[in-house]
Structures are given as C-alpha cells and as structure tokens.
Structure 1
Amino acid sequence: MTRHSLSLLLRNEPGALARIVVLFSSRGVDVESLSLGPAEPHGGHSALSRLDVVVGLQPGRTAAQLVKQLGRIVDVKSVVDRTHDEALELGA
C-alpha cells in the first residue's frame, strides 16, 4: 500500500464529503487521517471547505488516478497531491 497526502477545496454543501467518502470506499482507498475545515480562516460562513486527507492506495492504484477521479466530483473545486511537499513532511 502506498501512502499519499491530498488537499482538496470543495463546496461547503450538504453531501459533498459523503460523495468523496463513497468514491474512496468504492475504490478501496484506506483513509489514514482526515481534516476538514473552512477554507477561509476569518470566521463566518465559508462557501468553500478545505479537506486534507492521508490515504493508502492498493497496489496498481496511482495518486494521479485518484486525483482525476476526485476532480470529476461536482463539489470538488481543486485537488493537489501534497505527498512530496517538504513542509508537510516536516509537520510544519
């Protein structure tokens, strides 16, 4: 199993997270950690949420495939694979 860190911006709408979880489940993606919060740190109601997730992928699955599949979900505005992001690796 390979480990990948992804960062998503998604619309703050009912069911948005559920659609992502269904995609993960149907593709055998193991969620190791998940953090969800407003994309804008200034309080109030934000139209976007930021989802940071660490996933384990089965052999034969690639992060590029998963990023492409996540990008097809209507509520997802962007997906970035941060697996090799130095700041993330250092825990900053």
Structure 2
Amino acid sequence: MTRHSLSLLLRNEPGALARIVVLFSSRGVDVESLSLAPAERGDLSRLDVVVELQPGRTIVQLIKQLGRVVEVKSVVDRTHDEAIELGA
C-alpha cells in the first residue's frame, strides 16, 4: 500500500464531503486521517486527507476521479512537501 497526503478545495455544499468519502470507499481507498475547515473564501472548504492506496491503484488515477466530483475545485498531492518543524 502507498500513503499519500492530499489537499482539496471544495464547494461548501451539503453532501460534498459524503460524495468524496463514498468515492474513497468504492475504490478501496483507506482514509488514515481527515481534516475539514473553512477556506479563506467563505463558499469553499479545505479538506486535508491522508490516504493509503491498494496495490495497482495510482494517485494520478485517484486525483482524476476526485476532479470529476462536481464540488471539488482543486486537488494537490502534498505527499512530498517538506514538513515544517517548530522549535521548542
């Protein structure tokens, strides 16, 4: 299994998150963590999610499938972004 960190911007509409979760479930995507918060624009929300893909599934394929969900405005794979460490 491969782990990926995705950041999505989606329209703030009833059922938007449910459609994304159903997409994950129907494609055998395991959600490890999920965080949803309002974006700077009031009509959008930011969804940060860490997923594990089954062997044979690619992140490119999943991103294309997410892009077909009407409420999704953008998807960014943040898997290889550098982590920010805060000093103590």
CA RMSD of aligned residues (A): 1.4
Displacement, 1:40?
Answer: 1.4
SS state of the match for residue 9, structure 2? strand
Q: How many residues align?
A: 86
- Counterpart of 2:14, as a letter, is P
2: CA distance, partners of 1:39 / 1:58 = 30
Match of 2:72 among 57, 65, 76: 76
- Cα separation, partners in 2 of 1:55 and 1:91, compared to 1, 3 Å: farther
User: Which of residues 46, 53, 59 is equivalent to 1:57?
Assistant: 53
CA distance in 2 between counterparts of 1:82 and 1:69 reads 17
Q: Which runs of 5+ in 1 are unaligned?
A: none
Name the aligned partner's letter for residue 50 of structure 1.
R
Structure 2 alignment gaps of length 5 or more? none
Deviation at 1:91, TM superposition (A): 5.6
Alignment of 1:1-80 (within 5 A): 1-40=1-40, 46-80=42-76
Which string of whole-angstrom CA distances, capped at 9 and with x for unpartnered residues, describes residues 18-65 of structure 1? Answer: 000000000000000000000118xxxx10000000000000001100
TM-score (norm 2): 0.93
CA distance in 2, matches of 1:4, 1:64: 11
Give the structure-1-normalised TM-score.
0.89
| Runs of 4+ displaced beyond 2 Å | none
Counterpart residue identity of residue 78, structure 1:
S
Compared with structure 1, are the counterparts of its residues 91 and 32 closer, same or farther at alpha carbon in structure 2 (3 Å cutoff)? farther
In 2: Cα distance, 1:85 partner to 1:63 partner: 15
